[in-house]
Structure 1
Amino acid sequence: MELTKNRLTTSILKASKYIQFTIDDDFNIPDSREDVDKVIMSRGNVIVENTDVLEGRIVVSGIVVFKILYQSASGEEDSDSDKGDVPVVCFESEIPFEESVVVEDPHEEIKPGDRVDGTYTLEDLYITVINSRKIEVRGLVGMKLAVYDRASIEAAVDVANASGISCCYKKFSCTNMVTSCKDMIKVKEEIQLPASKPNINRLIWDEVSFRKFDMKPMNGSISVSFEMELFAIYKGEEEGTPLSFVNVTKEINSSIECPGVYEDMILDGFVTPGKGNVTVKQDSDGEDRIIYVEYNLAAEARVYEDRDINILEDMFSGTANIEPVREEFRYETLRVKNNARTKITRKERLKSSAPGILQILFVCGDCDIDSVKLMDDHIEISGAVRAYIVYVSNDDTRPIFQIEAVLPYTYNVETVQLKDDDSVRITPGVDAITADLINNDEVEIKCVVAMDVTAFARNSCSLITDTKILPVDMDKKAAVPGITGYVVKEGDTVYNLARTYYSSVDSIIKMNNLGEGDIKTGDRIIIVKCP
């Protein structure tokens, strides 16, 4: 007798935890930069460099990179700028961090080898000018960690090379994890200045954002497409010219290798922007008219397929005592995969302290989730989009200004009915955001928010992985009559009756001409014991 087995692999959520921690540091402005008068705008990003899984805890280390655009108090942009120009200067640096997070799993302890998925956001960034040569940087980092255990089992689905053995099967459905892969997408893009723009003397500010990520399984690979937007402020070559601005969006298509993947499989993946660099290059005429963007994006994907198979639930023989060896298997089944989109519109009036708007230069935004409620047929998601609008003002002393606006939302994503212990992951994002000028002190902000929802149901099942052959209890077998006339009762099956009376399924079917082996309450059948 030999068991025919099928390998099942799953990734089960063991535990998740959300924490917040603060960063705080002081920075001196380098001697090569002008004195700080006012901070115009600031940006920051969390970059995780290492994640160590230890016994019962996770150590996450990385950096928070930030940059500020400030107005100088000196009256000059730099040493060779024209007197009287209102200067703007960029300063950037980073703050390292290391956080140890205790994560508890009710079933088993977190251990090395477990996979950790993390979402890291800079929820707040505060810049305080201490004096003209020193600033204080404070931030609030949000970190959501999910710990997964990849489990595999060789489950018995049939018995080969064994006569006289009756088997009972049952249907088994799960979402089988085919493979997982991770790779680095290297973005290298050249942005050519429009003919109407002057040559670049020096880049003052650059901001690169990525959005509209779309990952699809292909045969042997995963395609990754997204949009890259560049906003840059630069000083032209000609003396006395005002600052110039560039805002360009490009579509990028890439892919990562992933052997064993096919187009009809289920993909759960995400892309995380990392470190990057923006420089100026010369064009074919030797003029500084190309902005070169180089960024690294970490792509990670898990590929699944739904499996519906018949597995071996039980077996017996009238001539041997077969004892199945069972193993408990925790697994997940995909319940929801929904890439939802919703639109948000809001009018925002400038504060009295903000200068009026002449021209909107750039708009960007971040999406935060405040609460998630599981309802009967949908998930209620509430949160807010934080929008940042950079514009040219009508105040010559503050030519570039930024305002922030908060766009609250509540969105219902249609789903099947979910349970509280289901594994639900929601990845928010801003697919598009614009701001239209109503008048010089009011704007209308429109954005499209993406909610990528994935939900798995957590289950467990006892599966046969091996057998033990033991001697038959001959006294017990001898007590069973050789031939039994039986009236079928409610709940009886041919398999159970054959097991009870030391017969076989085939014997009962043939003896009673049952065809497919179906019996119903009240049927009269004959059961013959195996020798």
Structure 2
Amino acid sequence: MLELVKKNIHMNRWKGYATSQITLDDDFIVPDSMDDVDQIILSSGDITIDSVKVQTERVMVRGKLDFMNLFRGAEGGLQTLSGNINFEEPINVPGLDEKDYVQLGWDLEDLNTGLINSRKLSVKSIVSLKVKVETASDINAAVEVDTGGTAIDVPMVETLRRNLDVASIALRHKDTFRIKDTVTLSGNKPNIDHILWTEMKLRGVSLRPMDGKMMLDGEQLVFVIYQGEGEGAPIQWVEESIPFSGELSVPDMTEDMVPLVTVHIIHKDIEAKPDADGEMREMDMDSVLELDMKLYKEENMELLSDIYSTNRELTLQTEEALFDKILTKNMSRCKVVEKISLDQADRILQICHSEGTVKIDDTEIKEDGLHVEGVLELRILYMTSDDAQPIQSTVEDIPFHFLIEAPGINEQTVCQLNPGLEQLSAVMMGGGTVEVKATISLDLLALQPIRERIITNALESPMDLNNLQKLPGIVGYIVQPEDSLWNIAKKFHTTIDTIIATNGLTDKSVRPGDRLILVKELA
């Protein structure tokens, strides 16, 4: 009795994409404990996703916009007003099933804070939500033949095999990594009266899978504006780069897996505290990173391409299967150098901080790779000579384009791209010009779908002796251009080994025009 030995291959098929833009708009009353608002100096916001619920043909996303505004009060001092706007957004995804895997990405496209009056602010923003859907697909492909039975009735089977490189998702894992550190003021800085503004950004995060763990390292940029201690003390700022490294336990991870990981800061807090002398000269920094890990495993598989028997009739059942192959895993770096002119250049004393966000506008697959177009959204904070407006900021968009090399890429290639910012500097030049230098990281994982016909079943029946007797016992044959030893042996009811032995061949290759003696195998 002939049976096929099959291997289950767990694949994830890309099922679809969906995007949604939502506008958040709300008004906020300035608390009685704060001064009247004279001018808004800085605004920033972060999106926090609370839940993603997969339903039939739609995804329900719940989250909030956390915003912070630094403003100059009517009395001349700086104060901070923060708050949040909750949202719940259904995103229609045709064909989505509750068992599908959904990956959500988001961008804060725009954030504007306006003055309605001195006691009321208007906060508006546009949030883009991007849904990517994958569905599980299990493929059972024949990899071996088990003939079984006794020596009398064992089918005499010939097999043709082929090797295939297959990439499948081996592991999905979400985890968090905590960073805690203490920032100490330098000797030329006054003590902290109270903190006005905080920012935390990631730079140069790298991840490396190891057996049983994920290694990570990078830098966290911390920027703080604070009010100095004492009457008439000037506004101060501190900027520190805090390196971090560590590992996350992931028991099923192996070193040879190919990672695609997104990293977000989901919690951040900076609090002033006294030092050993009791003076407010230290700040405790606490942040939590969320890592959404997807790891692929490459495997070289040997599949059965064809089967026939010299003493049985075999009817093969086949179907077309779609496999993934890793076309490229490419970490590219795009250098950006730009000179921009600032308004009020004659009043700028110095640049005290710059931060940027990478936004991808478009990607296009071409013969030589993936063309990426986007902008570096740059915000520059600077000190001015105007005592009434000592801190000002400006936002500039710097376009960039880059080619990520990916040989063999085509319209069927599935590209997964994670952008990041590794380095950024903004230096004041002469004439009110600022020179901006940045390094943008573009982490690309490109999967190439491959269609392959696989054997799913083989039906066995007794050999038709009448048809067998019609075949000549021995025949001379001239090899044709489309021939291989396999199809010649199958057609003339013999085996490759018999053809090689009969004709004194040294290997399994033949050329058009070769003359062969073919001897029929007896059932």
Task: Confirm or deny a common fold (TM above 0.5).
Answer: yes
Q: 1:199 aligns with which of 191, 199, 206?
A: 191
Provide the rounded CA distance (Å) in 2 between the counterparts of 1:62 and 1:241.
39
State the partner residue of 1:257: 249
State the partner residue of 2:54: 53
**8 Å contact kept, 1:11–1:331:** no
State the partner residue of 1:157: 143
State the partner residue of 1:98: 88
Letter in 2 for 1:376: E
Q: Which is further off, 388-397 or 48-57?
A: 48-57
Residue 312 of structure 1 pairs with residue 298 of structure 2: no
**8 Å contact kept, 1:355–1:395:** no
* 3-state secondary structure, aligned to 1:419: coil
Give the drift of 1:17: 2.8
Letter in 2 for 1:468: L
Once the two structures are superposed, what CA deviation does each residue of 1:152-193 show, in whole Å capped at 9, x if it has no partner?
434322224556110011221222333222211122222222
Q: 1:237 aligns with which of 229, 242, 249?
A: 229
State the partner residue of 2:349: 358
Residue 516 of structure 1 pairs with residue 507 of structure 2: yes
Q: 1:473 to 1:98 in 2, by over 3 A?
A: farther
* 3-state secondary structure, aligned to 1:113: coil
Give the drift of 1:527: 2.5
Give the drift of 1:395: 0.6
State the partner residue of 1:29: 30
5+ residue gaps, structure 2, are 149-154
Letter in 2 for 1:389: I
Residue 345 of structure 1 pairs with residue 337 of structure 2: yes
Q: 1:276 to 1:326 in 2, by over 3 A?
A: farther
**8 Å contact kept, 1:504–1:530:** no
Q: 1:388 aligns with which of 352, 356, 379?
A: 379
Residue 406 of structure 1 pairs with residue 397 of structure 2: yes
Q: Which is further off, 184-193 or 227-236?
A: 184-193
Provide the rounded CA distance (Å) in 2 between the counterparts of 1:396 and 1:282.
30
**8 Å contact kept, 1:358–1:440:** no
* 3-state secondary structure, aligned to 1:44: strand
Letter in 2 for 1:140: I
**8 Å contact kept, 1:47–1:275:** no
Give the drift of 1:484: 4.3
State the partner residue of 1:78: none
Residue 222 of structure 1 pairs with residue 214 of structure 2: yes
Letter in 2 for 1:228: Q
Q: 1:521 to 1:448 in 2, by over 3 A?
A: closer
* 3-state secondary structure, aligned to 1:495: helix
Letter in 1 for 2:432: D
* 3-state secondary structure, aligned to 2:429: strand
**8 Å contact kept, 1:356–1:441:** no
State the partner residue of 2:277: 285
Give the drift of 1:71: 0.9
Q: 1:473 to 1:112 in 2, by over 3 A?
A: farther
Q: Which is further off, 315-324 or 47-56?
A: 315-324
Give the drift of 1:490: 3.0
Residue 132 of structure 1 pairs with residue 123 of structure 2: no
Provide the rounded CA distance (Å) in 1 between the counterparts of 2:248 and 2:128.
29
Give the drift of 1:123: 0.8
State the partner residue of 1:83: none
State the partner residue of 1:79: none
**8 Å contact kept, 1:128–1:136:** yes
Task: Tell me the C-alpha RMSD between the 2 structures.
Answer: 2.4
Give the drift of 1:396: 0.7
Residue 368 of structure 1 pairs with residue 354 of structure 2: no
* 3-state secondary structure, aligned to 1:194: coil
Q: 1:471 to 1:91 in 2, by over 3 A?
A: farther
State the partner residue of 2:66: 65
* 3-state secondary structure, aligned to 1:489: coil
Provide the rounded CA distance (Å) in 2 between the counterparts of 1:337 and 1:276.
31
Give the drift of 1:248: 0.6
1:451-466 equivalent positions in 2, closer than 5 A: 451-466=442-457
Provide the rounded CA distance (Å) in 1 between the counterparts of 2:482 and 2:433.
73
Provide the rounded CA distance (Å) in 1 between the counterparts of 2:462 and 2:285.
74
Give the drift of 1:68: 0.7
Q: 1:493 to 1:282 in 2, by over 3 A?
A: same
Q: 2:77 aligns with which of 87, 104, 113?
A: 87
**8 Å contact kept, 2:160–2:305:** yes
Q: 1:161 to 1:341 in 2, by over 3 A?
A: same
Q: Which is further off, 127-136 or 188-197?
A: 188-197
* 3-state secondary structure, aligned to 1:498: helix
Letter in 2 for 1:210: L
Give the drift of 1:511: 3.8
Provide the rounded CA distance (Å) in 1 between the counterparts of 2:509 and 2:336.
59
Q: Which is further off, 44-53 or 342-351?
A: 342-351
Q: 1:133 to 1:215 in 2, by over 3 A?
A: same
Q: 1:518 to 1:446 in 2, by over 3 A?
A: closer
Letter in 2 for 1:70: F
State the partner residue of 1:303: 295
Provide the rounded CA distance (Å) in 2 between the counterparts of 1:180 and 1:44.
29
Q: 1:298 to 1:485 in 2, by over 3 A?
A: same
**8 Å contact kept, 1:486–1:527:** no
TM-score normalised by length of structure 2: 0.91
Give the drift of 1:61: 1.7
Once the two structures are superposed, what CA deviation does each residue of 1:24-79 show, in whole Å capped at 9, x if it has no partner?
11111222222211110100111222122222222222111111101112x1xxxx
Q: 1:211 to 1:21 in 2, by over 3 A?
A: same
Provide the rounded CA distance (Å) in 1 between the counterparts of 2:310 and 2:483.
19
Residue 449 of structure 1 pairs with residue 435 of structure 2: no
Q: Which is further off, 135-144 or 502-511?
A: 502-511
Residue 147 of structure 1 pairs with residue 139 of structure 2: no
* 3-state secondary structure, aligned to 2:253: coil
State the partner residue of 1:332: 324
Provide the rounded CA distance (Å) in 2 between the counterparts of 1:440 and 1:200.
34
1:164-183 equivalent positions in 2, closer than 5 A: 164-183=156-175
**8 Å contact kept, 1:26–1:136:** yes
**8 Å contact kept, 1:213–1:224:** yes
